[in-house]
Structures are given as structure tokens and as C-alpha cells.
């Protein structure tokens, strides 16, 4: 997924914008030298959040227990992270990052399904990189 050049570029950037939902996280590491995109995919038993009607169980598909950890590893070198997303997964990521990286400056914003250039524009505006 990440090439060695992307990992090296991520380490040089101190800010990141993460757009996250239950299936994937788009990570855009940002700095004065540019933007480095990467993606982290959740490995779920089903792409749907809920089971079909009349099925046994709580009705909710099990989360990938390593998903938030993988996203955390993608932004580990950052000092500031802006988290965007449409659902509750962004809040779960916020709590995870607060626990694992307490010195990281975090901000949370609701955002439906923007394009990659729109996510980058929000990040540039937030971090004042224009």
C-alpha cells in the first residue's frame, strides 16, 4: 500500500487530514513541500454495517479490531491531525489517537463524502498552508 518513498514523505510532514468511514480511511500527509496521499482499508466480513432482516445476532457487523491502529500508524509522525468523516468512526479514531498519542493536536469535523481535492483544500485551509 505505502511505498518506501511515501513512508519517507509521511515522516517529513507534520500535519495530516484523515477522512474516515467504516470501510476506509484516506490519509493526506501535508507540509510545505506538498501532500502525500495514502489509504487504509478495513477488513470486514461484509461491506454493509447491518445484517439482513430476520438474521440471528445483534444486527451489526463486527468492526475490524486493527483498523484504527493502522490509521494511527499512518499519522504517528504528525503533530497535528484533522479528522473528517460522515459517521461515528471519526469519533472512534479521535478517542483512539487521544489515548495512544496524547501530545498530538486533534480536531474533528463532520464531512459527508468529499473528493480528494476537496479534502486537501480543507486541510490546506485548516493548517493555513495556502
Sequence spans of domains, the chain:
4-44+59-127
Distance of CA 20 to the CA centre of its chain: 4
CATH 1.10.340.30: does it fit domain 4-44+59-127? no
CB of 74 closer than 8 Å to CB of 40: yes
Q: How many CA atoms lie within 13 A of 67 on its CB side?
A: 19
According to DSSP, the residues that pair with 30 across neighbouring strands are 15, 35
| Burial (CB count <10 Å: 0-12, 13-18, 19+), residue 115 | exposed
- The yes-or-no verdict on residue 32 having pLDDT over 90 is no
| pTM as predicted | 0.80
Mean residue pLDDT of the chain comes to 83
pLDDT over 90, % of the chain: 60
Tens-digit pLDDT profile for residues 36-87:
999 999 887 655 555 555 555 555 555 677 999 999 999 999 999 999 999 8
Amino acid at each position: 500500500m505505502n511505498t518506501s518513498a511515501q513512508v519517507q514523505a509521511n515522516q517529513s510532514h507534520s500535519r495530516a487530514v484523515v477522512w474516515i468511514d467504516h470501510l476506509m480511511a484516506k490519509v493526506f500527509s501535508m507540509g510545505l513541500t506538498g501532500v502525500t496521499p495514502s489509504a487504509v482499508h478495513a477488513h470486514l466480513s461484509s461491506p454493509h454495517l447491518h445484517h439482513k432482516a430476520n438474521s440471528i445476532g445483534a444486527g451489526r457487523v463486527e468492526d475490524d479490531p486493527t483498523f484504527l491502529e493502522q490509521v494511527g500508524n499512518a499519522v504517528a509522525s504528525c503533530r497535528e491531525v484533522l479528522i473528517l468523516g460522515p459517521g461515528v468512526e471519526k469519533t472512534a479514531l479521535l478517542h483512539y489517537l487521544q489515548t495512544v498519542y496524547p501530545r498530538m493536536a486533534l480536531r474533528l469535523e463532520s464531512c459527508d463524502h468529499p473528493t480528494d481535492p476537496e479534502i486537501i483544500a480543507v486541510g490546506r485551509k485548516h493548517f493555513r498552508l495556502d
